[in-house]
Amino acid sequence: MSVPSSASQVRPGDETRPLPLQMAPRRRGKPPRHFADLSADERVASVIEAGEKPFRAKQLATHYFTHFTSDPDEMTDLPAATRAALAETMFPQLIRPTKVMEADGGTTVKTLWHLFDDAKVESVLMRYPNRTTLCVSSQAGCGMACPFCATGQLGLTRNLSTAEILEQVRAAFRALDRGEIPGGPARLNNLVFMGMGEPLANYKAIMETVRALVAPQPDGLGMSARNITVSTVGLVPAMRKLADEGIPVTLALSLHAPDDDLRSELVPINTRWSVDETIDAARHYYEVTGRRVSIEYALIKDMNDHGWRADLLGKKLNARGKGWVHVNPIPLNPTPGSIWTASDREVEDEFVARLRGQGIPTTIRDTRGSDIDGACGQLAAEEDDE
Ligand code: SAH
């Protein structure tokens, strides 16, 4: 990966020269329309348009969402003569795995996907003793320009379509179902929008994705909304809109600093919506949905890990009530080119202790996959082929 020189020069205490925020994508081409992009009614309409009987829509949905397949050879309940053509129309190949990396004895798997226009994204599947979690990408690259995040250094190539996101999920369900991940056949329990991209900047597609994730099989994947986490830099109007959707997904807010001066440097969108406005929107989400919000806080040595910042964070959260929020500090995963590093262990412990001391539930997030650059903030699929 080539890292812009401004990123490699960023140092704690230095004057930083951040990348500009990028709200509009560089590319506008749309991927082909796919079955997973369609509502239930549209699925029926497109099957009819393809010259088939309406009930075929349900058969296709069952293949896709219950058996995780789009391969006509596996669709033996469809007429042999038209099966291949129908599958080709309904399930154009949108994502192609070009590199698979494993860690933790094969229970952490990072996949690099090439999209129809050669844009690239990554997803990471993590299997734990009693649960499975997939981290998906919602955009190719990201326009939010956070200087400590590998994806943030790429800029935004384009939004993913609903089906491009759902295809990452289907691949994970399929691998688990077919017993390809050590530990025997399993289901996917948790999904986090913590791969590449800012999910709330691709609002329509991620909401359609969420609807398909929670719809019961065979119309969707039958996941539980509370096991789906949407992580955001804090796009305040979109956070408020999300609260009104009536789907109680878990909201994670990437705060990283409790004061505007530092947060504007670490999370540049803070220049548009301040720390207080952002925390208010998180609190609003809790009030409307009853879902406890997670605050993400990457601990960066000598940057944002001071005791007084833990105290200020606790104070700002408690000022808005008790029991509505918990904090997930994450030791910084160093990214290529940046000399920022994770906080020392004692500093991390002190940070956690101060938050807990104020009565705020605080748990350190694990950094699984860091050795294959698959941990939070490390996803940086290269833009161009070398
Ligand atoms: N754009 C969304 C989701 C993608 S990143 C967001 O920012 O929330 C998922 C999480 O990883 C975010 O909390 C992000 O701030 C964090 N992260 C980014 N770079 C990181 C790094 N180098 N080390 C640790 N966490 C990082």
Distance (Å, whole) CA 114 – CA 104: 25
The pLDDT of residue 5: 39
Q: Which residues of 168-207 are buried (b: 16+ CB within 10 A; e: fewer)?
A: bbbbbbebbbeeebeeeeeebbbbbbbbbbbbbbbbebbb
User: Widest CA span of the chain, in angstroms?
Assistant: 70
Q: From the candidates 52, 122, 265, 296, which is the catalytic residue?
A: 122
What residue spans define the domains of the chain? 35-91, 95-372
**Ligand 1 contacts CB of residue 370 (under 6 A):** no
pLDDT digits (tens, 9 = 90+) for 274-333: 999 999 999 999 999 999 999 999 999 999 999 999 999 999 999 999 999 999 999 999
Nearest Cα neighbor of 154 from 207, 198, 109 is 198
pLDDT digits (tens, 9 = 90+) for 59-98: 999 999 999 999 999 999 999 999 999 999 999 999 999 9
CATH code at 35-91: 1.10.150.530
Distance (Å, whole) CA 196 – CA 159: 10
Distance (Å, whole) CA 45 – CA 18: 48
Span from the CA of 77 to the centroid of ligand 1 (angstroms)? 44
Q: What's the token pair of residue 67?
A: 């058996």
Lowest mean pLDDT among 167-181, 292-306, 332-346: 332-346
Span from the CA of 58 to the centroid of ligand 1 (angstroms)? 38
pLDDT digits (tens, 9 = 90+) for 101-150: 999 999 999 999 999 999 999 999 999 999 999 999 999 999 999 999 99
3-class state of residue 47 by DSSP: helix
135 is catalytic: no
Confidence band, pLDDT 50/70/90 cuts, at residue 165: very high
Distance (Å, whole) CA 293 – CA 35: 33
What is the DSSP pairing of strand 190-193 with strand 228-232?
A: parallel
Report, at the CATH architecture level, how domain 95-372 is classified: Alpha-Beta Barrel (3.20)
| Residue-averaged pLDDT of the chain | 93
Distance (Å, whole) CA 225 – CA 164: 20
User: Within 10 A of 156 (CB to CB), how many other CB atoms are there?
Assistant: 26
36 φ, ψ (degrees, to nearest 5): -75, -10
Test site for ligand 1: of 139, 156, 159, 296, most ligand atoms within 8 A of the Cβ: 296
**Ligand 1 contacts CB of residue 233 (under 6 A):** yes
The pLDDT of residue 11: 43
**Ligand 1 contacts CB of residue 377 (under 6 A):** yes
The residue whose CA is least distant from atom 12 of ligand 1 is 254
Span from the CA of 354 to the centroid of ligand 1 (angstroms)? 23
Q: E-assigned strands of the chain?
A: 95-103, 108-115, 120-128, 131-135, 139-142, 155-159, 190-193, 228-232, 250-254, 293-299, 325-331
Angle between helices 307-318 and 275-289 (to 10 degrees): 50
